[in-house]
């Protein structure tokens, strides 16, 4: 199975907003992260966990707490390999690119929701 079969649209921000503004966007969209793009390039990812760790500083800018070294995979990658990459990096979200441009995201929740289509031994 290819990662493209389970990916979702990534919600993108293109300005350095506050954590409070980012949290509001996540809440309104029912998502757990935002991708920060600048000039069409991935600059970072901010998760709800990043916001919770800084809840007493909600006026801080996203760029001050986001993860800047973002792990990405190509749209044609096998989902089994993506799961392995996520496990190795201990991440729950991975961005999907095509020719270097962001086109989606896969989360651990996406993988679990498609687990009936995956080989059981991938999880053990």
CATH number at 50 reads 3.10.580.10
How far are the Cα atoms of 6, 19, 24, 48, 59 from residue 56, in angstroms, in the given order?
35, 10, 16, 14, 9
Question: DSSP strand E in the chain: where?
Answer: 12-13, 33-38, 41-47, 72-74, 93-98, 101-107
Q: Which domain holds residue 76?
A: 3-123
Q: What are phi and psi of 21, to 5 degrees?
A: -65, -40
pLDDT tens readout for residues 53-64? 999 999 999 999
Number of separate domains in the chain: 1
pLDDT tens readout for residues 65-118? 999 999 999 999 999 999 999 999 999 999 999 998 999 999 999 998 877 766
């Amino acid at each position: 199975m290819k990662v493209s079969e389970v990916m979702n649209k990534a919600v993108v921000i293109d300005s350095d907003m506050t954590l409070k503004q980012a949290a509001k966007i996540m809440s309104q969209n029912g998502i757990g992260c935002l991708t920060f793009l600048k000039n069409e390039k991935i600059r970072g990812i901010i998760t709800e966990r990043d916001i919770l760790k800084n809840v007493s500083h909600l006026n801080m800018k996203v760029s001050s707490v986001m993860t800047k070294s973002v792990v990405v995979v190509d749209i044609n990658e096998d989902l089994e390999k993506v799961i392995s990459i996520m496990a190795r990096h201990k991440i729950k979200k991975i961005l999907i690119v095509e020719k270097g441009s962001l086109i989606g995201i896969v989360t651990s929740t996406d993988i679990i929701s498609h687990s009936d289509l995956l080989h059981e031994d991938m999880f053990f």
